[in-house]
């Protein structure tokens, strides 16, 4: 994967920047890599488990639920010639995200509710990929409305789903099959899988807009 290298079992992203959340830095000759901790990042867990996500490096990305920017920092290393619009609605973790955005030329931070894309519709451009990780009951709905506003035709999406945030009263497997059904209305599903043991009762779903 672009700008990703494994050090033993641990992936790391090639970066010009320092540590963002306490991750290790590996130096290889004159190159620098930031350890990408699978326990902290679902995208890393996915990669450790052998799933590939293709990037050409100049993608425009809309990231929903960026929190303090853990995964975002690595994604920004990967699409080093692209642009990431990072939406997060909680002011607390946003503080750290803002620190990151100040240093990175390819991050545009947006403090807003992702269920109301109207609010940032005059800011975000049409994107190649929507990455969503926001543990919300109505996250599929949120994904769909954002796709309508911003995702290019045949654009991709990658979402992380936590069973407990959708419905904690039924078995994760049931939750996941419902989510997949719902997602497949607007997306052609490309791949899905669990993130054990790094993130329990989570799956990822990737797809292309129909």
Ligand X SMILES: C[S@@+](CC[C@H](N)C(=O)[O-])C[C@H]1O[C@@H](n2cnc3c(N)ncnc32)[C@H](O)[C@@H]1O
Residue 160 is encoded by which pair of tokens? 């992380």
Q: Is residue 132 a contact point for ligand X (CB under 6 A)? A: no
Residue from 13, 15, 71, 147 binding ligand X (CB under 6 A): 71
Q: What is the footprint of other proteins within residues 168-207 (CB under 8 A)?
A: 199-200
Residue from 24, 31, 58, 123 binding other proteins (CB under 8 A): 123
The CA distance from 194 to 46, in Å, is 8
Nearer to ligand X, 158 or 183 (CB): 158
Cis peptide, bond prior to residue 82, ω within 30 of zero: no
Residue from 16, 31, 57, 105 binding other proteins (CB under 8 A): 105
CB 20 within 8 A of CB 74: no
The alpha helices in the chain, defined as continuous H runs, are: 42-48, 70-78, 91-103, 139-150, 163-166, 172-183
| Piece in contact with other proteins (CB under 8 A), picked from 7-15, 28-36, 91-99, 173-181 | 91-99
- Three-class DSSP category at 186: coil
Q: Is residue 133 a contact point for ligand X (CB under 6 A)? A: yes
x/- site string to ligand X, residues 34 to 53, per CB under 6 A?
-------xx-----------
Q: Is residue 149 a contact point for ligand X (CB under 6 A)? A: no
| Piece in contact with other proteins (CB under 8 A), picked from 11-19, 28-36, 89-97, 175-183 | 89-97
- Report in angstroms how near the CB of residue 209 gets to other proteins at its nearest: 13
Q: Is residue 161 a contact point for ligand X (CB under 6 A)? A: no
- Report in angstroms how near the CB of residue 41 gets to ligand X at its nearest: 5
Edge-to-edge, what's the strand order for the sheet holding 83-88? 107-111, 83-88, 60-64, 127-132, 151-162, 199-209, 187-195
Half-sphere exposure at residue 158, Cβ-oriented, CA atoms within 13 angstroms: 20
- 204 forms beta bridges with 160, 193
- Report in angstroms how near the CB of residue 122 gets to other proteins at its nearest: 3
Q: Which residue has the tokens 């995964």?
A: 71
Which residues contact ligand X by CB under 6 A? 41-42, 65-67, 70-71, 87-90, 93, 113-115, 133-136
């Amino acid at each position: 994967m672009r700008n990703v290298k494994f050090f033993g079992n641990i992936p790391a992203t090639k970066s010009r920047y320092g540590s963002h959340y306490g991750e290790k830095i590996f130096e290889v000759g004159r190159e620098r890599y930031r350890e990408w901790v699978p326990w902290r990042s679902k995208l890393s867990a996915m990669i450790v488990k052998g799933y590939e996500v293709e990037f050409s490096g100049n993608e425009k990305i809309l990231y929903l639920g960026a929190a303090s920017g853990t995964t975002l920092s690595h994604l920004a290393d990967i699409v080093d010639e692209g642009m990431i619009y990072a939406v997060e609605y909680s002011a607390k973790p946003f503080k750290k995200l803002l620190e990151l955005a100040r240093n990175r030329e390819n991050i545009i931070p947006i403090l807003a509710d992702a269920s109301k894309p109207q609010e940032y519709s005059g800011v975000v451009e049409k994107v190649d990929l929507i990455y969503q990780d926001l543990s919300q009951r109505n996250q599929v709905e949120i994904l769909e409305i954002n796709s309508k506003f911003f995702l290019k035709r045949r654009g991709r999406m990658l979402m992380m789903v936590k069973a407990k945030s959708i419905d904690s009263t039924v078995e994760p497997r049931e939750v996941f099959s419902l989510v997949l059904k719902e997602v497949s209305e607007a997306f052609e599903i490309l791949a899905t899988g669990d993130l054990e043991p790094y993130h329990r009762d989570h799956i990822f779903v990737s797809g292309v807009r129909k």
